Amino acid sequence: MPNKKIIIIGPTYPYRGGNSLFISHIYDLLKEEFDVKIYNYKLLYPSILFPGTTQIDKSQSIIKKANSIRIINSVSPFSWIYTAKRLKQENADLIVFDWWHPFFSFCHFTISYLIKKKYNDKILFITENIVSHESHFIDRILTKIGLKNANKFLALSDNVAKNLRDVSEGKKIYKSQLPIYDCYNEIEHGASEALGKYLGIMNGNKVLLFFGYVRKYKGLDILLNAMPDLLKFDHSFRLLVVGEFYDDESTYREIIKKNELENYVILINKFVPNEEVAPYFSLSDLVILPYRNATQSGILNIAYGFLKPVLVTNVGGLAEFVEEGETGFVIQPNSVKEIVAGVKNFYDMKSKINFDQNIKNIVGRNSFKQLPMLFNQIINNN
């Protein structure tokens, strides 16, 4: 009997970022048991709408490169119609849309509408987010439109599953998690010592890491404003801020200047290629996610891939993936005092808690590994 056929609509290489990495992990996990194809984008975001430098992964080391058909133009209805025509010819057992932003509302609605008759009860939407992190009222309307033709959903956190109930119209919601992104460990990362020397980080420094692109909802300004109180406690603290600024960098530079943090905060304003990720995590003691709001975060899963404990705010689904006092700590959002107390608590407990083993334990229980079994259930409507 031939394997069941699954078509995934989502970005993968050559696109960069968390969505591409996520789809590639799904492909790698499912391809051994299913006939899997990816319908990729030939245009993801129009350049005028993309705040970063490039959407293309220009890393020298490509860690995940799933095979795909680049077919979808996110702003061309003609492309949507052609994609739907191709999908109807596939005779797939499941069509999977990756949903993460209301920008794709009309694209996903049109394609799913045109194939709905052919694929009755075979259209699954994986919901990484329900609405964007900095959403407006119009985003919620667009989200309802974009998800309208889904037959079933796969949520990646309890928080997303809860929010889905407002738009799912009683359709079945399955649950999984983001994978643990330990793929960066496959790249040689013995350069951490050289990087530390280059950045002026000394043995004995307490190194905190904020990683990923910078936008207001991620709360970097709150973390920067917590640094003076941490330095009063211990002048060995260093904060690494590593990621491309989608906000105006000068806003954060002003906070650093105002608080005289120039010698204690290191800003690396760029998208970090795959081969450079590991040294930053290897240098760090604690990865901090001081987000104002969130669903889940691939940064947390990268941290766990390096067995690094985390300090996260209790927003969205972030806290779901932290075992308090074992793999990290959860604090209240929008609070300098909470960050200061959380960091101090980590260093007080650092020698008393086996964070490495605890993180290995939670990694071993990650439900993403059960995705083939779950997809069999989804296909069989169980």
pLDDT tens for 341-354 read 999 999 999 999 99
First-to-final CA distance of the chain: 20
Predicted local distance difference test score (pLDDT) of residue 134 = 54
CA–CA gap between residue 182 and residue 311 (Å, rounded): 19
Asked if residue 64 has pLDDT above 80, the reply is: yes
* Confidence at 52, pLDDT banded by 50, 70, 90: confident
Of 58-72, 78-92, 132-146, 288-302, the one with minimum mean pLDDT is: 132-146
Could you tell me if residue 2 is left (phi over 0), alpha (psi between -120 and 50 degrees) or otherwise beta? beta
3-state class (DSSP) for residue 125: strand
Tokens 């999984």, located at residue: 176
* Confidence at 131, pLDDT banded by 50, 70, 90: low
Partner residues linked to 172 by β-bridges: 152
* Average confidence (pLDDT) over 156-173: 89
Q: Which domains does the chain have, with CATH numbers?
A: 5-179+367-379 (3.40.50.11930), 183-364 (3.40.50.2000)
* Average confidence (pLDDT) over 314-338: 95
Between the CA of residue 6 and those of 68, 124, 174, 355, what are the distances in Å? Answer: 13, 10, 17, 38
If one counts every other C-beta atom within 10 angstroms of the C-beta of residue 354, the result is: 10
Tokens 């985003």, located at residue: 139
Predicted local distance difference test score (pLDDT) of residue 48 = 86
Instruction: Report the predicted TM-score, pTM, of the whole model to 2 decimal places.
Output: 0.93
Predicted local distance difference test score (pLDDT) of residue 285 = 97
pLDDT tens for 230-281 read 999 999 999 999 999 999 999 999 999 999 999 999 999 999 999 899 999 9
| Token pair for 95 | 């069509």
CA–CA gap between residue 61 and residue 70 (Å, rounded): 21
pLDDT tens for 132-151 read 555 578 888 999 999 999 99
pLDDT tens for 208-220 read 999 999 999 999 9
Asked if residue 189 has pLDDT above 60, the reply is: no
* Confidence at 194, pLDDT banded by 50, 70, 90: confident
Percent of the chain at pLDDT exceeding 90: 80
Predicted local distance difference test score (pLDDT) of residue 190 = 60
CA–CA gap between residue 16 and residue 58 (Å, rounded): 8
Asked if residue 228 has pLDDT above 90, the reply is: yes
* Confidence at 183, pLDDT banded by 50, 70, 90: confident
Mean pLDDT of the chain: 93
Of 58-62, 157-161, 172-176, the one with minimum mean pLDDT is: 58-62
Between the CA of residue 87 and those of 91, 96, 123, what are the distances in Å? Answer: 7, 11, 11
* Confidence at 166, pLDDT banded by 50, 70, 90: confident
* Confidence at 186, pLDDT banded by 50, 70, 90: low
